[in-house]
Copies of this chain bind each other. A is one copy, B any other.
Amino acid sequence: MPENLEKFINLKRDLAEINLDPLQRGGILTPEARAALAEWGDGYSICDFCTGSMDRIRSPPVEDFIHEALPKFLGSDVVRVTHGAREGMFAAMHAICQHKDWIVADGNVHYTTVLAAERAGLKIELVPSSGEPDYAVSVEGYAEAFERAYEHKGNVSMAVLTYPDGNYGNLVDAKAVASVCHDYGVPLMLNGAYSVGRMPITACNLDVDIVVGSGHKSMASSGPIGVLGASEEYARTIFRLSPTKKNKEIELLGCTVRGAGLLTMMASFPTVVKRVNDWMREVEKARKFANKMCSLGIELQGDRPHNHDLMFFKAENLYKISQTAKKGRYFLYKDLKDRGICGIKPGLTRQFKLSTYLLTEEEIEKVLNAFDDIVNSHSTSDKA
């Protein structure tokens, strides 16, 4: 039997006051979600109210949420809840593509898209990014990637656009990419892990056929949880029913998030709908922040002006400091932590990403002052 088990209880998060990690900023629970977590925490509590199809539970109103609210919110004909964006992408690829098919994806693609494709036995042709400093992915690049895949005699059965990508926060013109994909007769899946729940995403207006979102990344939900929306045409295949088990969708293994996570997503939903409408304020906030960082010698990469709270910075001055600082390349992590700030990976100085999403003015001020302080105090001590 395992021993010394006390170490697994009473574990604390021990975080700094302000967490700049882009993958955490959109997942902070609302007070309503926190209450749902306490109420519905046990096992898979929602199943007490199920009569065979989880998405059809009427009380609590899971059916209204999954069959009415989410489709309207996403602009998709059919939506289901998944274990996360990656699981949604795999489900769509596994259902729609044939083993050994090809998919085309943007060069800034999240690693989980690659894993989903590998798990489904698919090959990937990437649309290269322009590299430093813009890391831009072009719409025409999709057409060229389709052509390259055909040169391999590949059957291309899906395209993916990471919207925005998780490194630079770049937003490619999704509608234009969709148009190229449709010219080639290929459906476009939008990976909206960093957009669904942050900014307005309406799949039908963007002409995208499939969209995935992440509850833990951007919908103030306790993970793992995500959403998967599809147009009628592709939903038929993705959400096909079992030939032997009544009302059970094969690709979801019957049902997915059968616990508290779903109730947190529902409880946060009114707040999420509201915050999506306030998106431009977040963009303005990010732009102002980036300008001030620039004045400290820390330069924004990716789309400029930027259109998202996820930002990638290049800081030759911090890198220079790291070469002589006592703590070496860990100085930035430690200096920020001393000032109540975390979320930039330990050891990074020359380039790093962060997010200003939902930070208050005071918090932004605190972060900027911290960077100012760090840049200047080290310059001074260097000179001394």
Contacts and interface: CB of A to CB of B under 8 A. Distances in A.
Interface of A: 1-2, 5-13, 15, 19, 21, 23-24, 26-29, 32-45, 47-48, 51, 60-61, 64-65, 68-70, 72-73, 83-84, 86-87, 90, 94, 99, 111-112, 114-116, 118-119, 216-217, 220-224, 242-245, 248, 250-251, 253-254, 256-261, 263-264, 266-267, 269-270, 273, 277, 342-343, 345
Copies of the polypeptide in the assembly: 2
B7 A250 contact: no
A223 B47 CA distance: 11
B36 A38 contact: no
A11 B36 contact: yes
Contacts of A33: 41
Q: Which of A37, A38, A40 has the most CB of B within 10 A?
A: A37
Contact of A83 (B6, B28, B256): B256
A224 B115 contact: no
B263 A223 contact: no
Given A47-B24, A73-B2, A119-B250, A8 B258 contact: no
Contacts of A28: 42-43
A239 to B, nearest CB: 12
Given A1-B273, A83-B256, A216-B258, A32 B10 contact: yes
A381 B248 CA distance: 42
